[in-house]
Amino acid sequence: MSSNRTRRTHATLVALAAGALVLTACSSGAGTNTEGGNDRSGAEAQRSQIAFGDAAASKGAAEEVPGARKGGTIKVYQRDTYSHLDPAQIYVSDEGALATLLFRKLTTYHMDNKGKYTVVGDLATDSGQSSDGGKTWKYTLKDNVKWEDGSPITAKDIRHSIERTFAPFITDGPYYLQQWLADTNSTDYRKLLKDGPYKGKHLPDSVLETPDDKTIVFHFKSPHPDLPYALAMAGYAAVQEKKDTKEKYDKAPQSSGPYKIKPGSFKSGKGMTLVRNTEWDPKTDNSRHQYVDKFDIQFGVSYPDSTQRLIADNSDNQTAVSFNNQVDAASMQTVSNDPKVKKRSTSGYQPYVGVINFNMKRIKDKKVREALAYAMPTQAVLDAYGTPGGGELAGSYISPTVTGYKDIDPYGKLKKPLGDVAKAKKILKDAGKTGMKITFAYMNAPEPQKYSVSIVDNLKKAGFDVQPKDLPSDTYYDVIGKVDNKFDIYASAWGADWPSASTVLPPTMDGRQVQDGSPNYSHYDNPEVSKEMDRIAKMSDQEKASEEWFKLNEKILKEDLPAIPTFYYKQIQLHGSKVGGVVNNDIISGVDPTKLFLKK
């Protein structure tokens, strides 16, 4: 997924600095951790394959959160208004967190009280039954799953939910499933059902079959073993056919989860109120709770503002939390050094990995890229985003949150994060490129401004003739996304959509994706690598595929070096002293709203 919040948002994106917004799924992750701080053990514990749960694993009700009680109202501080409430338009993580309370999907991620994740059936009885080596997937709906108006959720609703994602007005959500159904890698998937289901046409049974009210069968032309992951995305949540108002649905969606939107309460830029959905049956849901009576969400509260309020922990702030706001970089030391505040913090990984891209169209000599990599002060990049807590030095293109993660560090960036200038200088000299001109583009935003000074300094010491060039934050990603951009090195970030490297390497490293606007910002094109990606993508054995993705990741890094990783993104969040059940959920990159309760 594009770096952060919306791509719309490119700019915002890097505000990513401050916060991950794109809904992503990482894999494993730090899971729980309420009593302040976090180390890597949580993520490491989760690096084993996330299991696809069977019917037993998918059965409700969810295990109780220790100490939980019912009742009360939790105040929620959010920086951004939710741009979309129509699940098909949801891709960013702040809306994804909200979606966990409102919408149910065929599958979902279950996080147990120990922080272990499993993909389980949500509306479906299990995570899916595959045949044909992953080309056919069958789902059966649970009994007694209902919409907020009390009517049953049927296979017809699920068919409608999927078919409407082909409609022209659905532009912001994920489109993995649409592409798989249309058997294409591009946006021409819409041709399969160009108006969606709104003009009487439907997907053929050879693609999507709903033989009865309970059964949904997907037929793909290629194996798609990742389907249970994809269906767990908020973008594929169920939409009630008879209540579908097309574009207007974005303002008044029907709930299938434990909470629903209080009618008329959503005010863009102001806030919204969630109240209990009385038609939600906890016995059908093994992942969500309905502890508090209401969530009173306030928009427009900046990170510094929410941080100050929650540090103060006075009056209403004692019962407040934020689903997505992070501790602002300037307050990280305060949070870290004050045990009372630290105790009310939660932290975890985000699925994003920051890198410094090398423009492969311009820097074709690998020795030069090596010299750049060795000289790069990755610690300075990380420090700019706030330490401790803003992240962790990276050695790989893939985050520790992704299943099968392995630590690698072929360029010694973990051992020498300030940069090995001497080694870089020697490599550059041996290559006969001392004094080579390098144009370094960076975003005109606080964090890049900070780290750019160190980068320029190190590169100059290594023997490069560095030409720094700041770019407006609003258009930064558009500019570096141009294949013919005039820059040699620049920073970007990318996160997995689900806990598989299949959502990291193909978008960012597949040469066939090199085009304007593509996230392959290095414009890296190695046909052999692309071929290998195709091979791995078809593997039905998830564990084996995971190993292969990481081998390919290491091969790209060692042999071609199109970018040097800088740091893995992490976030720290605070909550009021009277809020319980606060755990970090790596899948939604923040506090898990479904487990929250108010203490006495």
Nearer to other proteins, 278 or 315 (CB): 315
* Minimum distance from residue 574 beta carbon to other proteins (Å): 13
Compute the least distance from the CB of residue 510 to other proteins, in Å: 12
What is the closest distance, in whole angstroms, from the C-beta atom of residue 204 to other proteins in the complex? 23
Q: Which residue, 7 or 413, has its beta carbon nearer to other proteins?
A: 7
Measured from the CB of residue 20, what is the shortest distance to other proteins in angstroms?
14
- Give 8 or 415: the residue with its C-beta nearer to other proteins: 8
What is the CA angle 457-460-461, rounded to 5?
85
Question: Facing residues of 358 across strands?
Answer: 489
Residue 144 or 171 with smaller CB distance to other proteins: 171
Helix (H, G, I), strand (E, B) or coil at 121: strand
- Distance in Å, CB of 57 to other proteins, minimum: 30
307-333 burial, b if ≥16 CB within 10 A, otherwise e? bbbbbebeeebbbbbbbbbbbbbebbe
Distance, CA of 537 to CA of 543 (rounded, Å):
12
Q: List interacting residues with other proteins (CB under 8 A).
A: 1-2, 6-11, 81-84, 89, 91, 168-169, 171-175, 186-188, 190, 246-248, 250-251, 267-271, 298-302, 304-305, 308-309, 311-312, 314-317, 472, 474-475, 478, 507, 515-519
Nearer to other proteins, 246 or 551 (CB): 246
Q: How far is the CB of 307 from other proteins (least distance, A)?
A: 11
453-460, Cβ contacts within 8 angstroms, sequence gap of 24 or more:
453/380, 454/377, 454/380, 455/356, 455/376, 455/377, 455/380, 455/381, 457/377, 458/375, 458/376, 458/377, 458/419, 458/421, 458/424, 459/372, 459/375
Closer Cβ to other proteins, 293 or 478, answer by number: 478
- Tell me the closest approach of the beta carbon of residue 350 to other proteins, in angstroms: 16
Distance (Å, whole) CA 379 – CA 455: 10
Helix, strand, coil percent content, the chain, rounded in steps of 5: 35, 20, 50
Closer to other proteins by Cβ: residue 43 or 88: 88
Question: Where do we find the tokens 């059964």?
Answer: 215
- Comparing CB distances to other proteins, the nearer of 84 and 289 is 84
Amino acid at 194: K
Q: Which helix (H) or strand (E) covers residue 346, if one does?
A: strand 345-358
- Residue 237 CB, nearest approach to other proteins (Å): 16
Question: What Cα–Cα distance (Å) separates residue 566 from each residue in 163, 329, 416, 479?
Answer: 40, 18, 12, 21
